A and B are shown apart, each in its own frame.
With several copies, the nearest count.
Chain A
Amino acid sequence: MKVRVTVSLKEGVLDPQGKAIGHALHVLDFPEVREVRVGKVIELDLDEADAARAQERAIEMAKGLLANQVIEDFRTEIVQ
């Protein structure tokens, strides 16, 4: 089973990377860019046939390691 964990900075936490990209896009002539937020996607290939169980485990992994809940939120989804 493949599970995708998307980790993004909590709202309210300043995103230096997003800010820098936003700036660069303006310079490159994309004036329509209002805001940019950057996150991570972690694709897990799990040896687990049961989707519910796979997602549960992915949530445990996210809480345990993949996301720093002081600054980050995450969501998980089954890809396949």
Chain B
Amino acid sequence: MKTGIVVFPGTNRERDMAIALHGVTGRKPEMLWHRDTALPDLDLIVLPGGFSYGDYLRCGAMAAHSPIMREVKAFAERGGHILGVCNGFQILTEAGLLPGALLRNGGMRFLSQDCYLRVETSETPFTRHWKKGDVFRAPLAHGDGNYACDTETLAELEGEGRVAFRYASAGGVVDASDRASNLNGSVNAIAGVISANNRICGMMPHPEDLVDPLMGGVDGKPLFDGLVEALVR
């Protein structure tokens, strides 16, 4: 599987992502520069976490206008697979590749702690190594992860099974009004969504930071294992 990681000015989780992808694919991902205007041959593009453009104005807003995003959109139109994590998710929504927006966390503070995610569908290349209802742990680290969208979009996402992950308690209970599990206050406790064609996934928590027992566990690894299985040509 050939992977590429987009680096914007201010991106800071590209190395974490590269380690995770290298681990499962056995090959180093290509680092793509925000000013690049052509893409190499790739099976998966990842928009990693960080503070592109300092998260100034709105998280992801300025990165969404980078030259490379034209190529990423064309890649998406060709049916390419894209994963956006944290700031990458914010960029995908700002670029219009995924619906909704990420607002300031409900508690108005940056949050950096482990959360639990319930897998809402196993019918995607990103979640196929889990069963629907599985719960896994993932670190999160963001100030603006409070997922919001209008009511029609929400109905559409829910109706089409396009919510990939929800924040849950360790026991798997989802309660959007519970600040202890739905840490940032996201609508319907949504932590990750999928595009209509099932090929673009955005999520706030960081599965790439939990792929090695030494770093505290391998809860995030199924996502990458699933992608390898789905995308290896």
Contact = CB atoms under 8 A, between A and B. Distances in A.
B146 A20 contact: no
B101 A71 contact: yes
B58 interface: yes
Interface residue SS majority, chain B:
loop
A52 interface: no
A71 B61 contact: no
Interface in B137-161: 146, 148-150
A64 B64 CA distance: 11
A12 B187 CA distance: 13
Interface in A39-67: 40, 64-66
A17 B101 contact: no
B120 interface: no
Interface string B173-198: 00000000000010000000000000
Interface string B59-78: 00110010000000000000
B53 A24 contact: yes
A8 B228 CA distance: 42
Contacts of B94: 68
B193 to A, nearest CB: 13
Given A17-B108, A20-B56, A65 B103 contact: no
A28 B58 CA distance: 16
Contacts of A13: 103, 148
B61 A17 contact: no
Contacts of B57: 17, 20-21, 24, 38, 40, 65-66
Interface residues of B, number: 24
Most chain A beta carbons < 10 A, residue from B101, B107, B149: B101
B65 A16 contact: no
A28 B69 CA distance: 13
Interface string A62-80: 0011101011000000000
B53 A71 contact: no
A14 B54 CA distance: 14
Interface of A: 12-14, 16-17, 20-21, 24, 27-28, 38, 40, 64-66, 68, 70-71
Given A16-B185, A64-B65, 9 more contacts: A14-B148, A16-B105, A17-B57, A38-B56, A65-B65, A70-B100, A70-B101, A70-B149, A71-B148
24 contacts: A13-B103, A14-B148, A16-B54, A16-B105, A16-B108, A17-B56, A17-B104, A17-B108, A20-B53, A20-B54, A20-B56, A20-B57, A20-B107, A20-B108, A21-B56, A24-B62, A38-B56, A38-B57, A68-B58, A68-B94, A70-B93, A70-B100, A70-B149, A71-B148
